[in-house]
């Protein structure tokens, strides 16, 4: 069981909550802070990154967590958002021709010209607020965040980095479970992941609109589009968001997920652990597993495995995708950066360890005769 420091956004009330599961944590929070049993609450870190059941498992003891204000639920949409949607719907209903055109447009795929035009128009209307960058220019956007953050881009980089660090922690936890601390192959794999993440700055560019076009997942204004469920080539509906626009959209964006197409917990980590405990442990293709765990599928020219998805497109049922078995092990093993000449994984040759028998006739007796002489 772990201890957490919990507070409600906009309130000075804090409490210590001890829980071993996310369900138990939510139950105790509702009792402690007076929420109704059936009420939905959202748990976030100090940068408003949402904590779900999977993320909760990798949190360290003493982590500060924050509960969203009463009334936020249904995928992160507040009562005010519901009221706004209802108001807009009522307005459109009074103009049947416009209402019909808008509804038809919303049901079209993102690749259609009309849907693309609507997204562009909506993005332009939000540019005025989203274009602001510094804390001084948009104080409300930074409300509730640590004072160390001076720009929106810095906050979003931290958000992406936090997710990657969570994946790394989860990988370490699963690989080291029921394993001795000095397991050399697991230690090598974890060091490899950490080194590559450090080199890429933990893929913090994914959420940074100022990053290069091949490194970010949004456009230059900060507009993100849902990439659809794991088994779909694109989003079947029009899901998009600009977390740079307002504090509300920033918070809602924390409910969007970087979904592993090939599942992390059910498929990748069990397969990696089995490979690192096999006879061919020194030949495990760590580059392949790194791309599956941490890389977006279309970025940096890598064979990635992550898709950015709206909460409605995040399918938590078992995914029907498996590892490429031929990629689990390297054809040529690399040792200290140098490839072996053999095209198969090397096996330990014990012949050189055998002690050679002395040539008694040619050396010992010859030497004995010289000594005796």
Shared-domain flag, residues 150 and 49: no
Which structural domain range is residue 7 located in? 2-67
The mean pLDDT of 96-107, rounded to a whole number, is 60
Residue 355 is assigned to a structural domain of this protein: no
Last residue of a domain, one of 92, 107, 122: 107
Alpha-carbon torsion angle 191, 195, 198, 204, nearest 10: -80
The mean pLDDT of 303-312, rounded to a whole number, is 91
Q: Which tens digit of pLDDT belongs to each residue from 248-272?
A: 889 989 999 999 999 999 999 999 9
Residue 373 has pLDDT above 50, yes or no: no
Residue 334 has pLDDT above 50, yes or no: no
Residue 368 is assigned to a structural domain of this protein: no
Q: Which tens digit of pLDDT belongs to each residue from 197-233?
A: 999 999 999 999 999 999 999 999 999 999 999 999 8
The mean pLDDT of 340-346, rounded to a whole number, is 42
Shared-domain flag, residues 50 and 183: no
Shared-domain flag, residues 174 and 317: yes
Shared-domain flag, residues 62 and 95: no
d(CA 230, CA 253): 18
Residue 316 is assigned to a structural domain of this protein: yes
Residue in 52, 57, 10 with CA at minimum distance from that of residue 254: 52
Phi, psi of 31, deg, nearest 5: -70, -45
Q: Which tens digit of pLDDT belongs to each residue from 142-156?
A: 998 999 999 999 999
d(CA 349, CA 346): 9
Shared-domain flag, residues 286 and 316: yes
Residue 343 has pLDDT above 50, yes or no: no
**How much is the mean pLDDT over the chain?**
79
d(CA 346, CA 280): 9
Residue 161 is assigned to a structural domain of this protein: yes
Shared-domain flag, residues 162 and 302: yes
Residue 130 is assigned to a structural domain of this protein: no
Residue 273 is assigned to a structural domain of this protein: yes
């Amino acid at each position: 069981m772990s201890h957490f420091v919990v507070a409600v956004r906009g309130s000075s009330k804090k409490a210590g909550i001890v829980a071993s599961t996310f369900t138990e944590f939510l139950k105790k929070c509702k009792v402690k802070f007076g929420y109704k049993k059936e009420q939905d609450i959202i748990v976030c870190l100090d940068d408003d990154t949402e904590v779900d059941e999977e993320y909760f498992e990798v949190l360290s003891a003493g982590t500060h967590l924050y509960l969203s204000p009463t009334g936020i639920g249904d995928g992160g949409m507040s009562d005010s958002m519901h009221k706004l949607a209802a108001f807009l719907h009522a307005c459109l209903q009074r103009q049947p021709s416009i209402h019909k055109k808008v509804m038809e447009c919303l049901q079209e795929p993102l690749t259609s010209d009309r849907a693309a035009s609507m997204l562009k128009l909506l993005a332009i209307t939000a540019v005025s607020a989203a274009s602001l960058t510094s804390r001084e220019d948009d104080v409300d956007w930074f409300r509730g965040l640590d004072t160390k953050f001076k720009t929106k881009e810095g906050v979003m980089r931290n958000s992406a980095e936090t997710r990657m660090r969570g994946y790394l922690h989860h990988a370490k936890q699963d690989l080291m479970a029921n394993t001795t601390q000095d397991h050399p192959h697991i230690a090598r794999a974890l060091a490899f992941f950490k080194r590559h993440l450090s080199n890429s700055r933990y893929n913090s560019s994914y959420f940074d609109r100022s990053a290069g076009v091949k490194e970010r997942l949004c456009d230059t204004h900060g507009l993100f589009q849902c990439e659809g469920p794991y088994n779909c080539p694109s989003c079947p509906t029009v899901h998009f968001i600009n977390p740079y626009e307002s504090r509300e959209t920033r918070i809602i964006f924390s409910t969007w997920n970087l979904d592993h197409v090939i599942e992390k917990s059910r498929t990748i980590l069990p397969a990696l652990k089995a490979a690192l405990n096999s006879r061919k442990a020194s030949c495990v293709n760590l580059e392949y597993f790194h791309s599956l765990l941490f890389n977006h599928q279309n970025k940096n020219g890598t064979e990635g495995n992550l898709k950015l998805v709206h909460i409605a497109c995040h399918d938590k049922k078992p995914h029907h995708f498996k590892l490429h078995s031929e990629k689990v092990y390297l054809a040529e093993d690399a040792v200290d950066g140098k490839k072996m000449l053999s095209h198969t994984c090397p096996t330990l040759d014990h012949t050189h360890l055998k002690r050679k028998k002395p040539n008694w006739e040619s050396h010992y007796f010859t030497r004995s005769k010289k000594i005796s002489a």
